[in-house]
Structure 1
Amino acid sequence: MTALTIRPLAASDRAGWDPLWQGYLTFYKASIASDISNVTFARLTGGAEPMGGFVGERDGALIGLVHWVIHRSTWNSRDICYLQDLFTAPEARGTGAGRALIEAVRQMAQARGCFRVYWQTHESNAQAQALYDKVADKSGFIVYRQPLG
């Protein structure tokens, strides 16, 4: 097994990104129309939005992804970074890929002058929380959502 490479998500990664994105959606029992996935990928790779991603690559194959969104905050004059999606292929779990993807976002956000990186996970995702507890602090906040149609 060769070393893990973490690099920015590129437009040429679509074929490798799709199965990881679908794996992420399946994990969370979510379904998104293909036109939304198309818009999402274009936003992540187009360079015009305050968002992007990184991928983990090993032996020429993508084995993980992470997406991020930079936005303003009412709590600081500097921007904040939301780590929106993190997923590694099942065979890559426990190999350090998730930690490396989080670190890539942290370094990018720090370089952009953000004051914090934050993310959320489902309360049932114990495997991810075991990692998150090692690399970040739990905020104690509970997320509420109000669908708008």
Structure 2
Amino acid sequence: MGITIREPAEGDFFSWLALYEDYATYYERALTDQGALLVWSWLTDAARAERGLVAVDDDGALIGLVHYHEVPRPLDGDHALHIDDLFVLEEHREQGFGRALIEAVATVGAEFGTPLVQWLAKQDDPDARSFYDEIADASTVVVYRLRSAQQAPASPASADAPSVEPVQTGDEAVEATDDGATPDDSPADDASADAPATDAPDADASASDASGDNPEDNPVDSSAGSPAAESSTTEA
């Protein structure tokens, strides 16, 4: 069986969608119609950074896909291509399609002076990682994602601060600290009023996989690469 790798065409949408839905299912991710249309618009718009390639069998059917984009590497003064999503249908894995998709991305990079190709892989996907180990070197870099404000632990200052409860004295309410002292009895009260407030960090924890990533997750062929990453990729 021959291996053909090409850019997706307008008429490929529904075939590509079926592949991408299988990819999302593999990683137990929900893919909405709106999300799929958005990704497809990226792939078919030359002004967008996200690019894509598809693997085609002898009958012209789409059996695999790869999505990637260019990323800067400031300290090295160059760029790399980051694979966000990599997927090959299960029945076509271990036939070289995954490898061909990754190599096609590398070819694109070489043509534009960005020969380095990188991607994320799930630690608990031994089949994919076994394949990747055949063609690439694992990095020692660990990916961190900032917690959202709801997930962030309380700051030490707020955790140690005494609780304050209102106490009614006749018709007037005053505030007392845990030890029963009123604000007038506490010398630290004035200082605390001038202290700056401490807010928990607010961040979007969402990407690719890739990939990705999805940042967060991708399926792989044992002969090819894995979302986007922070999607992972899955080869077939």
Question: Which TM-score tier does this pair reach, normalised by the shorter chain?
Answer: over 0.9
**Aligned-residue CA RMSD in angstroms?**
1.4
TM-score (norm 1): 0.92
8 Å contact kept, 1:76–1:115: no
SS in 1 for 2:114: coil
Q: Which moved more, 1:70-79 or 1:38-47?
A: 70-79
User: For residues 1-149 of structure 1, what are the structure 2 equivalents within 5 Å?
Assistant: 2-58=1-57, 59-146=59-146, 148=204
Q: Structure 2: any 5+ residue segments left out of the alignment?
A: 149-203, 206-236
Deviations 1:11-60 (A, max 9, x none): 22111101110111111111132212111111012111122111000021
Q: Structure 1 or 2: larger helix share? A: 1
Q: Which moved more, 1:67-76 or 1:21-30?
A: 67-76
* Matched residues, number: 148
SS in 2 for 1:99: helix
- Match of 1:92, as an amino acid? H
TM-score (norm 2): 0.60
Q: Structure 1: any 5+ residue segments left out of the alignment?
A: none
8 Å contact kept, 1:65–1:101: yes
CA distance in 2, matches of 1:8, 1:91: 22
Identity among equivalent positions (%) equals 34
CA distance in 1, matches of 2:12, 2:70: 22
Query: Based on CA coordinates, which of the two structures has the bigger radius of gyration?
Result: 2
- Match of 2:67, as an amino acid? H
CA distance in 1, matches of 2:29, 2:129: 20
Higher normalized contact order (CA 8 Å, seq sep 6+, divided by chain length): 2
